[in-house]
Amino acid sequence: QLILGIESSCDETGVALVRMPADGSVPTLLAHALHSQIDMHRAYGGVVPELASRDHIRRVLPLTQQVLGDAGQTLQDIDVVAFTRGPGLAGALLVGAGVACALGAALDKPVLGVHHLEGHLLSPFLSADPPEFPFIALLVSGGHTQLMRVDGVGRYEILGETIDDAAGEAFDKSAKVMGLPYPGGPILSKLAESGDPEAFKLPRPLLHSGDLDFSFAGLKTAVLTQAKKLGDELEARKADLAASAQAAIVDVLVKKTLNALKQTGMQRVVVAGGVGANQLLRQQLNEACAKRKIRVHYPELHLCTDNGAMIAMAAAMRMQAGQQQADKHYAFDVKPRWPLDAIVEPA
C-alpha cells in the first residue's frame, strides 16, 4: 500500500510517499519534498500564521506532483492519504487536512489524521538503522520537550517535560536576544562552533531536581543580561555567548536523558524533533551512551525538522499496528492543541 503524507502544521509544507509492506515489516520512504517558509517569515522575526496558511495552499499540490513524479507513481496509485491533524497552527493545519480530504474524496481513497509529535517520535524508523521497541525517547522540537517511555506504537508514557519553554525555543530565543536572524537554533549552533562554551556561566535549570522535567525560560533572560553587560563587546564575544548557551541547553538535555535511562533501566534511546539535528547534542549523547553501552538512534539530519515523510510513516505504523484505520468520512477537523497522551493505546 502507498501512503501519501501531508505535513502543514507550522512553517514547512512537506509531502511524502511511503510504501507500507503487507507483511508488517518497516515501511519505506519512496520520495519526499519540502518547502520551508523560513525566508518568507524572516522579515517578521517569527512565523506569521496567516502567511503560513496561504503559502501552504500555494505549495501543497505542486509538491504532491513532484513527489509522485520522483517516485514514478500517479495519483491513482495512492492507497491512503495521511495528514497532520494537530497540534499546530489552526489555519495551517486546515490546509493540509482540507487538501488531504479533497484528494481522498476525488480518488475514492481513505484518509487518516496523524499526531504531529507521533510523526517526530517515529521519524527515526525512516533511517537506515531503525530502532527496536522499547526505548526512551527524547523529543526536542520547537514547541515541545519531553522524555517518554515508548513500549510500542501508540504506547507512550510521558516521564517528564518542560514546565515553560521548549529546547528549540530556548535556542531560538537566545539567538534572538543576541541579535541573530530567525530561525535562531541552527544559526546559533553554527556560530557556537568557533566559541568557547565555558566563556560565560549560564544557568542549567532543574539539572539536579531529581525529576525528569525541564525549564528553559530563565536561560533567555540570562543570555539577555549577559548580552547587555557586554554592550559594545557583544559583537566580538558573540560566538562565546552562543557556545555557552548551547552548552547549557545540551548539558540539561543529556543529563536528564541519562536519568531517564537509569530510572527505567532502558538500554536504548531515540532522539526526535528539530533540536535532534544539533551536533553537540549528538556528540555528547553518543559519548555518554557509548560508555554505558546504550544504543542511540536519530532521525536522518534532514528529517529532524518538520516533513511529510514522518507523517506518512506514523500513519503506516499506526495502521500496521491495527490501532487506527483510514476512513472515507472526509468530515475532518483539526486539533491545534492536542497532547500526545490523548492518543495512547491501552497496554
Q: Which residue is nearest to Mg ion (CB)?
A: 11
**Residue 113 binding: pick among ligand ATP, Mg ion, Fe ion, none (C-beta 5-8 Å cut-off by kind):** none
Give CA–CA dist 132/293, Å, rounded.
Answer: 16
Residue with cell 491495527: 322
Task: Determine contact, residues 122/137, Cβ cutoff 8 Å.
Answer: no
Interaction of residue 7 with ligand ATP, rule CB under 6 A: no
Q: Which is nearer to Mg ion, 89 or 148 (CB)?
A: 89
Residue 312: CA count within 13 A, CB half-sphere: 33
Binding-site member from 37, 64, 123, 141 for Fe ion (CB under 5 A): 141
DSSP string covering 88-109: S-HHHHHHHHHHHHHHHHHHT-
> How many residues are there in the chain?
347
Query: How far, in whole angstroms, is CA 255 from its chain's centroid?
Result: 20
**306: annotated binding-site residue?**
yes
Contacts with ligand ATP in 276-335 (CB under 6 A)? 277-278, 305-306
Residue with cell 501508540: 154
**Residue 336 binding: pick among ligand ATP, Fe ion, Mg ion, none (C-beta 5-8 Å cut-off by kind):** none
Q: Give the type of residue at 14.
A: G
Interaction of residue 284 with Fe ion, rule CB under 5 A: no
Find residue 214's DSSP bridge partners.
162
Interaction of residue 273 with ligand ATP, rule CB under 6 A: yes
Give CA–CA dist 137/270, Å, rounded.
Answer: 5
Instruction: Give min distance, CB of 84 to Fe ion, in A.
Output: 9
**297: annotated binding-site residue?**
no
3-state secondary structure string, 247-299? HHHHHHHHHHHHHHHHHHCCCEEEEECHHHHCHHHHHHHHHHHHHCCCEEECC
Interaction of residue 162 with Fe ion, rule CB under 5 A: no
- What does R_g of the chain's alpha carbons equal in angstroms? 20
Instruction: Give min distance, CB of 306 to ligand ATP, in A.
Output: 4
**142: annotated binding-site residue?**
yes
Interaction of residue 13 with ligand ATP, rule CB under 6 A: no
Give CA–CA dist 158/80, Å, rounded.
Answer: 30
**244: annotated binding-site residue?**
no
Task: Determine contact, residues 296/289, Cβ cutoff 8 Å.
Answer: yes
Residues forming the site for Mg ion (CB under 5 A): 10-11, 306
Interaction of residue 171 with ligand ATP, rule CB under 6 A: yes
Contact range with Fe ion by CB under 5 A, out of 157-165, 181-189, 251-259, 300-308: 300-308
Give CA–CA dist 247/227, Å, rounded.
Answer: 17
Instruction: Give min distance, CB of 145 to Mg ion, in A.
Output: 15
Contacts with ligand ATP in 46-85 (CB under 6 A)? none
**141: annotated binding-site residue?**
yes
Q: How many residues bind Fe ion (CB under 5 A)?
A: 2
**307: annotated binding-site residue?**
no
For residue 244, what is the DSSP state? H
Q: Which three cell numbers stand for residue 234?
A: 557583544
Contact range with Fe ion by CB under 5 A, out of 139-147, 192-200, 276-284, 338-346: 139-147
Instruction: Give min distance, CB of 105 to Mg ion, in A.
Output: 29
Instruction: Give min distance, CB of 87 to ligand ATP, in A.
Output: 6
What is the H or E stretch that residue 40 is in? helix 38-42
**60: annotated binding-site residue?**
no
**Residue 278 binding: pick among ligand ATP, Mg ion, Fe ion, none (C-beta 5-8 Å cut-off by kind):** ligand ATP
Interaction of residue 306 with Fe ion, rule CB under 5 A: yes
Q: Is 129 helix (H, G, I), strand (E, B) or coil?
A: coil
Bind-site residues for Fe cation: 116, 120, 306
Which residue ranges make up the site for ligand ATP (CB under 6 A)?
Answer: 10, 88, 116, 120, 141-144, 168, 171-172, 183-186, 189, 273-275, 277-278, 305-306
Bind-site residues for substrate: 139-143, 172, 185, 278
